């Protein structure tokens, strides 16, 4: 699940030519550094969440606009829910299969 992200105050970007429907509303970045600008092609992949080590060097450029945080939270929740349901179904099938295969043995 992806969505468009752009710098607040810039023109609202449109989907790229031949780009599939992204599934999440466009969000704004409150950019703290005028010399750093997001490209028109910038996208957020809500399904790929990465843990960043406390010792990793990161470059902070800004934050999601407060008015768009609900969009971000809902998109992340939807991705986690879809992942959890898929994992739970796979796990349930495996457990059911293991249980049934061992049930007849003594």
Q: What is the rounded CA–CA span in Å between residue 14 and residue 99?
A: 52
| One pLDDT digit (tens) per residue for the chain, 106 residues | 899 999 988 998 989 999 899 999 999 999 888 788 899 999 999 988 888 898 999 888 899 999 999 999 999 999 888 887 755 555 444 444 444 434 444 4
Listing DSSP states for 45-90 in one string gives ETT------TTS-----EEE-GGGHHHHHHHHHHHHHHHHHHHHHH
Domain span holding position 39: 2-47+57-103
Whether the model clears a pTM of 0.75, i.e. scores above it, the answer is no
The pair of three-digit structure tokens given for residue 105, joined into one six-digit string:
């043995």
Total domains in the fold of the chain: 1
Residue 52 belongs to a domain: no
Asked if residue 11 belongs to a domain, the reply is yes
- Please give the helix or strand (H or E) that residue 92 lies within, else none: helix 69-103
Contact 30, 8 (CB under 8 A): yes
């Amino acid at each position: 699940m992806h969505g468009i992200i752009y710098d607040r105050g810039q023109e609202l970007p449109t989907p790229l030519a031949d780009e599939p429907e992204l599934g999440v509303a466009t969000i704004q970045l409150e950019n703290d550094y005028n010399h750093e600008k997001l490209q028109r092609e910038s996208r957020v992949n809500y399904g790929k969440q990465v843990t960043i080590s406390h010792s990793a060097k990161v470059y902070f450029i800004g934050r999601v606009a407060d008015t768009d945080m609900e969009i971000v939270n809902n998109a992340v929740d939807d991705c986690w829910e879809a992942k959890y349901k898929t994992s739970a179904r796979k796990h349930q099938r495996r457990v059911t299969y293991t249980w049934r295969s061992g049930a007849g043995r003594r």
